[in-house]
Amino acid sequence: MASFDMVSKVDLQTLDNAINVTHKEISNRFDFKGSHVVIELNKKEFKVNLEADSEMKLNQIVDVMISRSMKQGLAGEIYDLSKEAFQSGKVVKKEVPVRNGLKQEDAKKIVKLIKDSGMKVQAAIMDDIIRVTAKKIDDLQAVIQASKGWNLGIPLQYVNMKS
């Protein structure tokens, strides 16, 4: 039986590099000279704390952060941008959680999509990993291609392929 695992993991070192490159680029930009900017990564909680003078500057920081992360090989969907920025004195703050690992409801949704596709594969949820097994490796590759077309809003990696 051939199998592979679907995961949604973020490499902490790559994320740290992307945040550092973002901080360096923002501090060198002319439109941010002399303004209050904080970009820090909380490695334990997988959160990025952002502070800026205005909401417009905060949005520019988020855009740079996403583009630099993508250049480092991270997907743009790792950042959960659903929380709104809030005013705190003279600065605008935003807490951006980093999605790391598959949540149970996301895993159930993926397994349902795999079963509804009608392919001859079995999918099982194991903590924050989905193991997909099949008799032929071609069926597994079909699942990978199909999953790239699903708009789930989470980045997926395919690891541990065995034939």
Instruction: Please say which residue of 50, 74, 97 terminates a domain.
Output: 97
On whether both 92 and 18 belong to a single domain, the answer is yes
Instruction: Please say which residue of 62, 79, 97 terminates a domain.
Output: 97
Q: CA-CA distance, 38 to 26, in Å (whole number)? A: 10
SS3 131: strand
On whether both 127 and 61 belong to a single domain, the answer is no
Give pLDDT tens digits for 20-60.
Answer: 999 999 999 898 888 899 999 999 999 999 999 999 999 99
Total number of domains constituting the chain = 2
| pLDDT at residue 66, as a whole number | 94
On whether both 89 and 145 belong to a single domain, the answer is no
On whether both 156 and 136 belong to a single domain, the answer is yes
Q: CA-CA distance, 17 to 14, in Å (whole number)? A: 5
Domain that holds residue 54: 12-97
On whether both 23 and 84 belong to a single domain, the answer is yes
Q: Across the chain, what does the average pLDDT equal? A: 90
For residue 150, what pLDDT band results from cuts at 50, 70 and 90? confident
On whether both 91 and 113 belong to a single domain, the answer is no
On whether both 85 and 110 belong to a single domain, the answer is no
On whether both 157 and 105 belong to a single domain, the answer is yes
On whether both 80 and 105 belong to a single domain, the answer is no
The CATH number of the domain where 48 resides is what? 3.30.70.990
The CATH number of the domain where 119 resides is what? 3.30.70.860
Q: Using the predicted structure, report yes or no on whether residue 88 has a pLDDT greater than 90.
A: no
End-to-end Cα spacing for the chain? 7
Give pLDDT tens digits for 107-144.
Answer: 899 899 888 888 888 998 988 899 999 998 888 888 88
Half-sphere exposure of 146 (CA within 13 A, CB side): 17
Q: Using the predicted structure, report yes or no on whether residue 160 has a pLDDT greater than 90.
A: no
On whether both 23 and 93 belong to a single domain, the answer is yes
Compute the residue count for the chain: 163
